[in-house]
Amino acid sequence: MTDTIFIRGLVIHARHGVMEHETEVGQRFVIDLELSSDLSESSRTDRLADTVSYSDVVATATAAFKDTNYRLLERAAGAVADAILKAFARIGAVKVTVHKPHAPIAAIFDDVGVVLTRTRQ
């Protein structure tokens, strides 16, 4: 059985992008996470030790996203996925969506971004 923990709308200011002003000033990014894990034990025991701490996941994702300036969203999302899988043995797969709502595109748009899904090997 696979269950899902989700975190949506995590807002992080970072300096990712190809253009010089993106790396100097930075911009707001929004991250959504879906974590696949068997939650049957924690659903019976009601113990944090039997699940994954949302707070710890947010701290891990934030550090992975902010600690390095990436040119591509694909790489930034991959760093988040890799860090989460490395830090949390209970997570079997992670889906990372990175929204870049203020991307420097000469068009009117609601949102752009990437979605990556990674599974434990």
- pLDDT for 61-87, tens place per residue? 999 999 999 999 999 999 999 999 999
| Cβ–Cβ under 8 Å, residues 41 and 107 | no
Domain span at 81: 3-119
What pLDDT, on the 0 to 100 scale, is given for residue 21?
Answer: 83
Residues 19-69 pLDDT 10s: 888 888 899 999 999 999 999 999 999 999 999 999 999 999 999 999 999
Is residue 86 part of the annotated active site? The answer reads no
What pLDDT is attached to residue 1?
55
Q: Decide if pLDDT at 17 tops 90.
A: no
Number of domains the chain contains: 1
The pLDDT value given to residue 11 = 98
Tell me what pLDDT residue 30 has: 98
- Dig out the tokens for 60 from the structure: 């891990």
Give one word for 111, left, alpha or beta, with left for phi > 0 and alpha for psi -120 to 50: beta
Catalytic residue among 66, 86, 95, 100: 100
CATH number of 29's domain = 3.30.1130.10
CA distance 27 to 102: 7
d(CA 66, CA 100): 14
In three-state form (DSSP H/G/I as H, E/B as E, the rest C), the secondary structure along 63-110 is: HHHHCCCCCCHHHHHHHHHHHHHHHCCCCCEEEEEEECCCCCCCCCCC
| Overall average pLDDT of the 2-18 stretch | 94
